[in-house]
Amino acid sequence: MDIEEVGKKARKAARLLALLDSKAKNRALELMAGSLVKNAETIISENGKDIALAEKNNLTPAMIDRLILNTKRIEDIAEGIRQIISLADPVGKVYDKKVRPNGLKVARVRIPIGVFGIIYESRPNVTADAAALCLKSGNAVILRGGKEAFHSNMAIASALSSSLKEARLPEDAIQFIDTTDRSAVLGMLKMNRYIDIIIPRGGSELIRFVSENSTIPVVKHDAGICSVYIDEGADFEKAKNIAVNSKVQRPGVCNSAETLLVHSAWASNLPKLMEAFEAEGVEIRGCERTVEAYRSATRATDEDWDSEYLALVMAVKMVDSMEEAIDHIENHGSHHTDVIVTESDERAEQFVKAVDSSAVIVNASTRFNDGGQFGLGAEMGISTQKLHCRGPMGLEELTTYKFVATGNGQVRG
């Protein structure tokens, strides 16, 4: 596979995609959803090869489960594409209009970014989700999935690009790198002439590799070391529900909580709260004072404060002030999602101002930092960086803008 050639074709396709109206893109998405269902048998059979390899390589049952595709799961993927059809198309939106004193009309217009490079290790549904989001936002995409889902990804990609042909759109709008060779990734990361943005989705090693080697701007979807801080005077039931939900509702994802910070003036409630965690099977790793107050907790090590467990483990620390909680979040958090539970509007406001995370949430679960929950529709992931977009990366965040100025002969004096 000539990676340079892939890039050239993607750039060419992107120029055509940028000119499409929403109707043409939605029609292609409808065909893509249909094509997945129509090709379900082939996809499931190719998926079988990945599963067999996974079993041979002794992947954990949880990992194998995430790889499995069956009719129901393929229908769910197709349904996900149909939901993207129903979302508003951001491309072409005109905003920030001005008429300058010399009569020049200036505005910004939303346009596709161009060519996406997505490097992922996740479940095979990402192949379809990412391709559909890129197409809807008028972008071409080069996909490079993990080797564990290689056959499944290839089958899905082939079903998708055949429907592009049927929709008379450029087939190269969705290209899949048909090799698991790492040098192909390195090649992608240097193609700043043809790729406009790289999105790595996966473990921290992948994200580090991409950040260090890419000459193309990267939007990272990095680790979530998310905290819940329980303020003095917080309502017990509210605090308990929010803290427990943040940890246990889906512990394996980035917006689940890893750290609980409890104001010492609230600490008489700590044992009862810890029991609620234990009832959900959560292992508690506490600071010295937490362990004193709740003997079933084990003592946390320095590493615990910097850990993204993605499991039923919670690090718990007692603090003597909100400032101490904020400092802990600054020094140990990952600027992803942080929550305060408080009955004081003033203190909520202080916390929101001082904590620099993609989402700061007052009196609700960390799990709400999500494109669907925040009302953005489907998302490409959750950006943990500060430039371009933060938090959920929805359709609008998959676009950029250009300035358009219209005059009648103006020149500069």
Which residues contact its own copies (rule: CB under 8 A)? 15, 18-19, 98, 100, 104, 106, 109, 111, 113-114, 192, 196-197, 211-212, 215, 217-219, 235, 237-238, 241-242, 245-246, 249-250, 330, 348, 352-354, 356-365, 367-369, 373-375, 385-388, 390-392, 400-412
**Which of 287, 325 has the CB closer to its own copies?**
325
**Which of 29, 361 has the CB closer to its own copies?**
361
Closest approach, Cβ 263 to its own copies, in A, equals 18
- How far, in Å, CA of 151 to CA of 155, rounded? 6
Closest approach, Cβ 392 to its own copies, in A, equals 8
Please give the structure tokens belonging to residue 76. Answer: 């769910």
**Which of 163, 366 has the CB closer to its own copies?**
366
> Could you give the 3-state DSSP secondary structure of residue 21?
coil
Closest approach, Cβ 390 to its own copies, in A, equals 6
- How far, in Å, CA of 7 to CA of 180, rounded? 17
Closest approach, Cβ 14 to its own copies, in A, equals 9
- How far, in Å, CA of 270 to CA of 317, rounded? 11
**Which of 36, 219 has the CB closer to its own copies?**
219
- How far, in Å, CA of 227 to CA of 230, rounded? 10
- 348: Cβ contacts below 8 Å, ≥ 6 apart: 340, 342, 362, 363
Closest approach, Cβ 173 to its own copies, in A, equals 16
| CA angle, 33 then 35 then 36, to 5° | 70
Distance of CA 285 to the CA centre of its chain: 28
| Residue 157 near residue 37, CB atoms below 8 Å | no
| CA angle, 61 then 56 then 121, to 5° | 60
| Residue 312 DSSP label | S
Closest approach, Cβ 317 to its own copies, in A, equals 20
Closest approach, Cβ 391 to its own copies, in A, equals 5
Closest approach, Cβ 59 to its own copies, in A, equals 28
**Which of 34, 203 has the CB closer to its own copies?**
203
| Residue 121 near residue 89, CB atoms below 8 Å | no
**Which of 30, 236 has the CB closer to its own copies?**
236
Strand pairing category for 283-286 and 298-299: parallel
Closest approach, Cβ 180 to its own copies, in A, equals 26
Interhelix angle 125-136/71-86, nearest 10 degrees: 20
Cα distance from N-terminal residue to C-terminal residue, the chain? 53
Residue 155 is which amino acid? A
| Residue 324 near residue 352, CB atoms below 8 Å | no
Bridge partners, 112 (sequence order):
399
**Which of 37, 354 has the CB closer to its own copies?**
354
**Which of 205, 212 has the CB closer to its own copies?**
212
Distance of CA 330 to the CA centre of its chain: 21
**Which of 100, 299 has the CB closer to its own copies?**
100
